[in-house]
Amino acid sequence: MIEPYIGLDVHKHSVFVTEMGEDGSPGDQYRIGNSEDDWNSFRDRYLSPGNSVGLEVSTSGKYAARTLMDMGFNVHVMNPSKFPDIFRSVRKNDREDSFKIADLLRTGEIQRKGEIYIPSKEISDMRSLARYRISISQDITMLKNRVHAILSSHGISIGSTDIFGRSGMRSIKSQADRIPRSESMVLSDIISRIASLMKSAGDVEDEMAVIASGSEEIKIILSIPGINVYSAVAIWSEIGSIDRFKTKEKLASYAGLVPRQYQSGNRDISINASINAVLSRYRDSINQETGT
């Protein structure tokens, strides 16, 4: 009989497996490789409606979790920082850690106290695109600031509304003789890199638009005034499954819309949690990039 609770201690190249029964007694404990073939063998051995799998969050753990979720396992990913007394003990090894994870899964402690949400592949892909688009905007802004710095250091002022548009570029080139050769080379290279990044940004945005066209959830978000397709993808990818929020208040708190207060003695600080950190960074970077 296959044991219903399975604890995994996942590493880059290997995984330690512990089986555990309803009474907490361990079954087989052994090591497998963190490879497609080994996961397929794992599926063939364990996949059934009654089996649950637990593992710690990590880069390798997230890969394993998504692989197992796609296979149909009931996967619970735990945050070890929620269990410091257990995972910072003097006795720590792969066998012991996988046993602890299996036991926390069996007792329901992972689900009640320290479970981490792992988005679906679709949500993960959207999130990767949105976050990458943010990073492109940040890189473009940094390079544009360097262009402004070079021009200012030589007393060059460009009258165009957008100095990185066609008119602005012509103005910069017309005054290139006022810039030393070495800095002119740097300026030319920076401008080429900006053009390349702008093309990449357009490609990413096109892919985001394709995703948005097939998502009913994103279409609903787009019905909110002031939300464009790129913001909608960023919002939905960060929220993921709406079912993980029991109330609208919990969603608002996650988005950073519920103020928090830290008061001690003469210090009284009121802050908004994250203010939907990723979305805010997205909007800020886009505004800086376009100069708005």
pLDDT digits (tens, 9 = 90+) for 209-261: 888 888 888 888 888 888 888 888 888 888 887 777 777 777 777 666 555 55
CATH of the domain at 54: 3.30.420.40
Q: Which pLDDT does position 266 carry in this prediction?
A: 58
pLDDT at 289: 55
DSSP β-ladder status, 26-33 and 14-20? antiparallel
Strand pairing report for 52-56 and 5-10: parallel
Q: Is the pLDDT of residue 286 over 50?
A: no
Residues 9 and 90 in one domain: yes
Rounded to an integer, what distance in angstroms lies between the CA atom of residue 137 and that of residue 232? 17
State whether 142 and 165 are in the same domain. Answer: yes
Q: Does the pLDDT at position 52 exceed 90? A: no
What pLDDT score was predicted for residue 228? 85
The percent of residues in the chain predicted with pLDDT above 90, rounded, is: 34
Has residue 20 got a pLDDT over 70?
Answer: yes
Q: Are 46 and 6 in contact (CB under 8 A)?
A: yes
- Quote the domain boundaries for residue 271: 121-290
Judgement on whether residues 209 and 270 belong to the same structural domain of the protein: yes
Same structural domain, 184 and 256: yes
Q: Looking at 92, 116, 140, which one is the last position of a domain?
A: 116
d(CA 77, CA 55): 5
273 and 155 share one domain: yes
Query: CB of 30 within 8 A of CB of 17?
Result: yes
What pLDDT was estimated at residue 89? Answer: 67
Look at residue 125 in the predicted model and tell me its pLDDT.
86
- pLDDT score recorded for residue 272: 47
What residue type is assigned to position 75 of the chain? V
pLDDT at residue 162 tops 50: yes
Domain boundary pick from 66, 98, 116? 116
Residue with tokens 């802050």: 271
**Do 161 and 195 reside in the same domain of the chain?**
yes
- Count structural domains, the chain: 2
Q: In sequence order, what are the beta bridge partners of 34?
A: none
Per-residue model confidence as pLDDT tens digits over 104-152: 999 999 988 878 888 878 888 888 999 999 999 999 999 999 999 998 9
Q: How confident is the model at residue 275 (pLDDT cuts 50, 70, 90)?
A: very low
Same structural domain, 278 and 160: yes
Are residues 212 and 137 part of one domain?
yes
Express each pLDDT in 67-106 by its tens digit: 998 898 999 999 888 888 777 766 678 999 999 999 999 9
- pLDDT of amino acid 290: 52
Per-residue confidence (pLDDT) for residue 176, from 0 to 100: 78
Same domain flag for 76 and 125: no
Same domain, 199 and 108: no
pLDDT confidence tier of residue 201, bands split at 50, 70 and 90: very high
Instruction: Give the global pTM.
Output: 0.67
pLDDT at position 273 is 43
Residues 158, 231 share a domain = yes
Does one domain contain both 136 and 111?
no
Neighbours of 49 (CB within 10 A): 7
Tell which of 64, 87, 116 closes a domain. Answer: 116
Residue 251: closest CA among 262, 242, 261: 242
Tokens 């012991």 sit on residue: 96
Name residues whose C-beta falls within 8 Å of residue 168's C-beta, 6 or more positions apart in sequence. 158, 160, 162
